[in-house]
Structure 1
Amino acid sequence: MDIKNLLILSMVKTIGPAFIKKNRHRLSKIASCEDIVYEVKPDESDNLRHYGTVADEIISDCKANDIKMLSILDDTYPSQLAEIGDPPSVLFLKGDVSLLEHVIAIIGTRHSTELGNKIAERVGEYFSHKYSICNGLVEGIDEHSIYYNGHVTKNVVGIISGGLLYKETCSSNHIRVIDDVINAGGLIISEFYPRQKEDKFSGSKASRIQAGLSHGLILVQSKADGGSKYTLAKYAKLGRPIGIIHYPSSEEYYTEVFGANRLIVEKGKDGLAQMIDLKKISSLNVGSILTLSGKEDYDKLIKEMETPKTGMLF
């Protein structure tokens, strides 16, 4: 099935990413989406012509703006992202796609403190020499983890919550950061159509892509009920290692702005389950939870990320 037919299929009501993932082998062997729609959602058949027109417009926008499209049916679709329950059927990408090979998410609160920002900058710069730094590029920890000495570090993968015609779809501050990342040779990714504006729901959807793409994740600074829990909730199902910044020498570390960090450091998986509102700890599937206080700990996390995991199939 080509990209146009997959776009059409993804527009059909009740046929979402989870359905397409489940049926990807079947879809890869057929040319048209019509038979699937007739079988699963026949009352949508009359809308296929309209969906086809929309798909043509999307493809035209991508061609005109140097936006790549990557289908879940494509062999080059990131296998680690395909492990989540509802991977995007089509990814829209602008920039250096090779950055997807080795990815680490560095996340935290939008309402970061000076201490949190300094830690994010140092951690981001350290890991950027070997990994692509992945997050939503929003203000706070995300932004500070990709800048060092006023410049974007090399190897940044930004997951945005609007379409990749971002000067039309994103806020002014977000546009500035996205421009910096692209100009530095980074990669911007979205699952939303190029002209689709960001909204209050798209950010939480984008967080699952951050989780899925990343071989490791570092929480720099967050309150116990902070928004980082959305990315952590998705990541905690993937059996991959988590690093938690631990800075006990600072008085600020014992305030609420580092509440999530202390909760997870002190209680481990129980603390993580509490933060992401998971009632049954048995539902967690995480690798090691490592406390990160310095470069020796960073290297331990890298070792965990590079240890092959078994049982993960696309």
Structure 2
Amino acid sequence: MDIKNILILSMVKGIGPAFIKKNCHRLINDSSCDQIVKESKPEELDNLVSYAKTADEIMSDCKDNDIKMVSIIDAEYPSQLKEIGDPPSVLFIKGNLSLLNHVIAIIGTRHSSELGNKIAERVGSYFADYFSICNGLVEGIDEHSIYVGSKVLSNVVGIISGGLCYNETCSSHHIQVINDVLEAGGLIISEYYPRQKEDMYSGSKASRIQAGLSHGLILVQSKIDGGSKYTLAKFAKLGRPIGVIHFPSSAEYQSESFGANRLIAEKGKDGLAQMIGLKKTSSINIGPLIVLSNKDDYNKLIQSMSIANNNVLF
């Protein structure tokens, strides 16, 4: 099935990413999406012509704006992303796809403190020697983890919550960060159509892509009820290592803004379950949970990520 038909299928009401993942064999073997729609959502057959027109418009936008489309059955589609329950059927991409080979998510609050910013800068700079740094490129911890001074790191993977015609779909500040990432040789990914604007739900939805793409994750700073819980909730199903910044010697670390860090550092999986709203730790599937207080701890996380990925990182 070509990418146009996959786009059309993704527009059918009642057919979502989880359904498409389950039926990947049909995408490989069928020449069009018509039969799948006929079997699963026959009431939508009359709408396929309209969906096809929209797909043509999307593909034209991609061509005109140098946006690459990668479908879930393409060889370039990142295998680690397929492990989530609802991977996007089509990714829209600008930049260096090779950065997806070894990825770590560095995440935290948008309302970061001076201590959080300093830690994010140090952690981002350190782990960038080993991995691509992945997050949503938003203000706060995300931004501070990808900049060294005024320059962005060269191996950043940004997951944005609007389309890749980002001059139209994102805020002015976000546009500048995206431009910095691309100019430095990084990669920008979205699941949204090129001209689709950000909304109040798209950020939390995009967090599952951050989780799926990343071989490990570091939480730098978050309240217990902070937005980082969305990425952590997805990541906690993937059996991959998690690092949590822990800096108890600082008075600032005792503030509410580091509440999630303290909770997880002190209670481990129980604390993680509490943050992401799970009643039982048995529902959590993670690799080692490593409390990060110094560079020795950083190296433990790097080693655990290497083991989790069959030592392919070194």
TM-score, normalization by structure 2: 0.97
Shift of 1:26: 2.0
Query: What code does the residue aligned with 2:86 have?
Result: D
Partner of 1:230: 230
For residues 221 and 154 of structure 1, the distance between their equivalents in structure 2, rounded to whole angstroms, comes to 23
Shift of 1:153: 1.1
CA deviation string 1:152-203 (max 9, x = no partner): 0120000000000000000111111101101111000000000000000000
Distance 2:9 2:26 in 1: 13
Work out whether residues 129 and 154 of structure 1, in 8 Å CA contact, stay in contact via their aligned partners in 2. no
Name stretches of at least 5 consecutive residues in structure 1 with no aligned partner. none
Gaps of 5+ in 2: none
Q: What TM-score, normalized by structure 1, do the two folds share?
A: 0.97
Q: Which residue of 2 aligns with 1:94?
A: 94
Q: Deviations 1:286-312 (Å, cap 9, x if unpaired)? A: 1111011111111110101111458xx
Give the distance between the partners of 2:245 and 2:120, measured in 1 at CA. Answer: 9
- The offset of 1:76, in angstroms, is 2.1
- Asked whether the equivalents of residues 78 and 100 of structure 1 are also in contact (C-alpha less than 8 Å), the reply is yes
Deviations 1:203-244 (A, max 9, x none): 011000000000000000001111100000000000000000
CA contact (8 A) 2:71 2:90 kept: yes
Is residue 287–residue 308 contact of structure 2 (8 Å, CA) maintained in 1?
no
Whole-angstrom distance in 2 between the partners of 1:108 and 1:83: 23
Identity over aligned pairs, percent: 75
CA distance in 2, matches of 1:136, 1:76: 21
Matched residues in 2 for 1:168 and 1:34: separation? Answer: 33
Query: Does the 8 Å CA contact 1:107/1:228 hold for their aligned counterparts?
Result: yes
In 2, distance between residues paired with 1:196 and 1:218? 29
Tell me how far apart the structure 2 counterparts of residues 295 and 155 of structure 1 sit (CA, whole Å).
21
Say if 2:221 is the partner of 1:221. Answer: yes
CA contact (8 A) 1:182 1:188 kept: yes
Report if aligned partners of 1:246, 1:261 keep a CA contact under 8 Å in 2. yes
Equivalent residues of 1:116, 1:220 under 8 A apart: yes
Partner of 1:20: 20
Task: Give me the whole-angstrom Cα distance separating, in 2, the residues matched to 1:201 and 1:9.
Answer: 22
- Residue number in structure 1 paired with 2:124: 124
Tell whether the 8 Å contact from 2:240 to 2:308 is kept in structure 1 after alignment: no
Equivalences, count: 310
Task: Give the aligned partner of residue 168 of structure 2.
Answer: 168
Cross-structure match for 2:73: 73
> 1:262 & 1:17 partners in 2: Cα distance?
35
Match of 2:58 in 1: 58
CA contact (8 A) 1:241 1:287 kept: yes
- Cross-structure match for 2:106: 106
Match of 1:281 in 2: 281
Runs of 4+, deviation exceeding 4 Å? none
Partner of 1:201: 201
Moved more, 125-134 or 5-14: 125-134
User: What secondary structure does 2:133 align onto?
Assistant: strand
Distance 1:24 1:199 in 2: 29
